[in-house]
Amino acid sequence: MRVTVFGATGLLGKALTRKWTDDDLSGLGSKDTDIRDPKQVSNVLERTRPDWIVLAAAYTDVDGCEQNREHAFDVNFRGALNVAQAAKQFASRLLFLSTDYVFDGAKNSPYETTDPRAPLNVYGLSKAEAEVQIIQVLPECCILRTSWLFGIDGKCFPDTILKLAASRPAIDVVDDQRGSPTYTADLARVIIRLCRADARGIVHATNRDNCSWFEFAREIIADARLSATVRPTPSDHFVRPAQRPKYSVLSSKSLEKYGIEMPNWQDAVRRYLQDRN
């Protein structure tokens, strides 16, 4: 199978290129191809002729998106559509990475793939609108929503917590937002399996179980055997440009249909700490 990954130099993309060893994979970063330019995208696919495209390239700075809406839509919406249209041109399958932030957090039970999109912020809106339009272009595509990504290949929440814990006796962390941390190494394995299973439609994939950011941070500190104290605090103590959903846990039912079960997030944290050493 021939695979082209857009966003191969990002947090998830690096995990994908490391795990995906049994197929003919072309990994492209933003310096190789600017997905905002349809001609660049078309030229790449004409050369690689992939069976599957994984679109992991995105502008994921949630607060940055809020302050730069045009850039967010250029990359996350128009750029994604460029890839979808080129995929149709070259008869390639597409797996598009999306987000829990397409939901507003008003539920108190895990979001199903059929729940209505209702994003609270520009990042979520750019992804939600991309989902809708990509499905119009490629009805057989796979939309893979995930949440709270972390990995060894770049900046992420555990990395930030570890750095803060090394220099402070106490850390205040938000305790009124709930979701499911997802380790890029685990998500990469899922993506490979979904492509090989000819997946289509919307799929939710996160590590099992859920927590608040405070509980996530507390687990990281405990597993790393650091002495810093983690203190719960409400999100209104941290004024940020973009509003976040209070609850964005994703149901695993759509993933279980493919016979896939991900490890729980606590296990993922332990492996992350081992892998980064």
**How do residues 171-203 score in pLDDT, each as one tens digit?**
999 999 999 999 999 999 999 999 999 999 999
- pLDDT, average across residues 6-19: 97
Average pLDDT, the chain: 97
Q: Of 236, 263, 114, which is closest to residue 180 (Cα–Cα)?
A: 263
Distance of alpha carbon 71 from alpha carbon 60, whole angstroms: 11
Q: Of 184, 175, 267, which is closest to residue 219 (Cα–Cα)?
A: 267
Distance of alpha carbon 167 from alpha carbon 5, whole angstroms: 37
> How many structural domains comprise the chain?
1
pLDDT for 277 equals 79
C-alpha pair distances (Å), 222 with each of 150, 158, 233, 267: 17, 12, 19, 13
Residue type, 167: S
Is the pLDDT confidence value at 238 over 90?
no
Residue 46: pLDDT band with limits 50, 70, 90: very high
**How do residues 198-214 score in pLDDT, each as one tens digit?**
999 999 999 999 999 99
- Identify whether 58 is part of a domain: yes
- Identify whether 167 is part of a domain: no
| Residue 116: strand, helix, or coil | coil
- Identify whether 275 is part of a domain: no
**How do residues 17-33 score in pLDDT, each as one tens digit?**
999 999 999 999 999 99
* CATH number of the domain encompassing residue 9: 3.40.50.720
**How do residues 48-66 score in pLDDT, each as one tens digit?**
999 999 999 999 999 999 9
Q: Of 153, 105, 145, which is closest to residue 128 (Cα–Cα)?
A: 145
- Identify whether 48 is part of a domain: yes
Q: Where are the beta strands (DSSP E) in the chain?
A: 2-6, 24-28, 52-55, 93-99, 142-146, 149-150, 170-174, 178-179, 182-183, 201-204, 211-212, 229-233
**How do residues 255-264 score in pLDDT, each as one tens digit?**
999 999 999 9
- Identify whether 98 is part of a domain: yes
- pLDDT, average across residues 70-94: 98
Phi, psi of 26 (to 5 degrees): -115, 115
pLDDT for 239 equals 86
Catalytic annotation present for 272: no
User: What is the side-by-side strand order in the sheet with 142-146?
Assistant: 24-28, 2-6, 52-55, 93-99, 142-146, 201-204
- Characterize 97-114 residue by residue with b for buried, 16 or more Cβ atoms within 10 angstroms of its Cβ, and e for exposed: bbbbbbbbbeeeebbeee
**How do residues 68-79 score in pLDDT, each as one tens digit?**
999 999 999 999
- For 276, residues 6+ apart whose C-beta sits below 8 A from its C-beta are 152, 159
- Identify whether 11 is part of a domain: yes
Q: Which of 101, 123, 183, 247 is catalytic?
A: 123
* Residue 81: domain span: 2-154+183-207+249-263
Percent residues over pLDDT 90 in the chain: 98
- Identify whether 17 is part of a domain: yes
- Identify whether 272 is part of a domain: no
